[in-house]
């Protein structure tokens, strides 16, 4: 533990013995990774849930993060590639998976139900690919792959955070600008069109922006489970109806990731990645949501 004044001095660029390494090299990059990844997961999750009018329609459930994960694990296990190559492959894996899902779901007319079912099927297929890669992998590569798959802020470095920070700063404002159109899309295709919204163009911009920020977040921290799934519903309960849910969902995503990291590091005798803690929180909510939707006849 270091005094607050020492932490502030380090953040201002001063060299403080001991604190400069602990704060500047380890803690501060770890916190920034949690902030920007959590914001990206929260924003992207609520965009998909709102646009597709279904709480299950988020990047975790419909397979986009599974695409990023499969590409990353392939690079780690088969190619034994560097962290930079793993990150790039993760980004393109997420983009390619999103494109495939939307192309298959489009058909003659866009169908939300078809998209979710196709996404869940692709996620199952990609998870099988990941399991196979882990099965055939060399023993010394498995810890790296498993650590990445669990979703963790461990080992975050400033130089690896710049792409994520830049992407969030560029594409999050685009999502915010499209916020009103996103709310209209939630009313349905016909209602949005009658209100003058170019639904195809708006959906394309929202999907590309959301997939990019969540792919970069996944490439940086791994797939931190259920943050994109939980952030939107929690934020909606906090701010209520009639307000944009984008920024609140991003802030809830930050809180979830940082809180999970703190709990995983200090609440138990052993240390657990943030993704393990969010998975423990998110799985019961997913089961509850499925039961509730089934009773309403939405499944």
pLDDT for 298 beyond 60 = no
Q: What is the mean pLDDT of residues 38-62?
A: 84
How confident is residue 49, by pLDDT bands cut at 50, 70 and 90?
Answer: confident
What CATH superfamily is the domain 4-296?
ABC transporter involved in vitamin B12 uptake, BtuC (1.10.3470.10)
How confident is residue 286, by pLDDT bands cut at 50, 70 and 90?
Answer: confident
Q: What is the pLDDT of residue 252?
A: 93
CB 19 within 8 A of CB 6: yes
Which of residues 216 and 184 earns the better pLDDT score? 216
- Sort residue 150 into left (φ over 0), alpha (ψ -120 to 50) or beta: alpha
Which of residues 233 and 38 earns the better pLDDT score? 38
Q: What is the mean pLDDT of residues 141-145?
A: 78
CB 246 within 8 A of CB 175: yes
235-283 per-position pLDDT tens digit: 888 887 667 788 999 999 999 999 998 898 888 888 888 888 888 888 7
Q: What is the pLDDT of residue 172?
A: 92
153-208 per-position pLDDT tens digit: 887 788 888 888 999 999 999 999 888 888 777 776 677 777 777 777 888 888 88
Mean pLDDT of the chain: 81
Q: What string of DSSP letters covers 54-119?
A: -TT-STTTTTHHHHHHHHHHHIIIII---HHHHHHHHHHHHHHHHHHHHHHHHTTS--HHHHHHHH
pLDDT for 57 beyond 80 = no
The full set of domain ranges for the chain reads: 4-296
66-119 per-position pLDDT tens digit: 888 888 888 888 887 777 788 788 888 888 888 888 888 776 666 677 778 888
Q: What is the pLDDT of residue 17?
A: 66
Looking at the chain, the whole-number percentage of residues with pLDDT higher than 70 is 86
Q: What is the pLDDT of residue 15?
A: 65
How confident is residue 41, by pLDDT bands cut at 50, 70 and 90?
Answer: very high
């Amino acid at each position: 533990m270091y005094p607050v004044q020492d932490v502030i001095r380090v953040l201002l660029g001063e060299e403080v013995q001991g604190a400069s390494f602990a704060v500047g090299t380890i803690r501060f990059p770890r916190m920034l990774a949690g902030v920007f990844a959590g914001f990206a997961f929260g924003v992207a999750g609520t965009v998909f849930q709102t646009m597709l009018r279904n709480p299950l329609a988020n990047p975790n459930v419909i397979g986009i993060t599974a695409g990023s994960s499969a590409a990353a694990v392939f690079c780690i296990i088969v190619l034994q590639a560097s962290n930079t190559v793993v990150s790039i492959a993760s980004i393109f894996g997420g983009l390619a998976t999103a494109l495939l899902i939307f192309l298959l779901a489009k058909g003659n007319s866009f169908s939300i139900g078809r998209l979710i079912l196709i996404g869940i099927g692709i996620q199952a297929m990609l998870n099988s690919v990941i399991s196979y890669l882990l099965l055939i992998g060399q023993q010394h590569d498995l810890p790296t792959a498993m650590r990445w798959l669990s979703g963790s802020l461990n080992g975050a470095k400033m130089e690896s955070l710049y792409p994520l920070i830049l992407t969030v700063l560029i594409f999050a404002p685009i999502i915010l600008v499209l916020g009103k159109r996103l709310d209209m899309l939630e009313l349905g295709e016909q209602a949005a069109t009658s209100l003058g919204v170019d639904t195809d163009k708006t959906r394309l911009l929202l999907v590309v922006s959301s997939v990019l920020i969540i792919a970069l977040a996944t490439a940086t921290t791994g797939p931190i489970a259920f943050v994109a799934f939980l952030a939107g519903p929690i934020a909606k309960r906090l701010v209520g109806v009639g307000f944009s849910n984008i920024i609140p969902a991003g802030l809830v995503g930050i809180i979830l990731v940082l809180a999970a990291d703190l709990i995983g590091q200090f609440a138990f005798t052993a240390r657990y990645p943030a993704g393990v803690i969010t998975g423990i929180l998110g799985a019961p909510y997913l089961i509850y949501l499925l039961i509730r939707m089934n009773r309403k006849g939405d499944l």
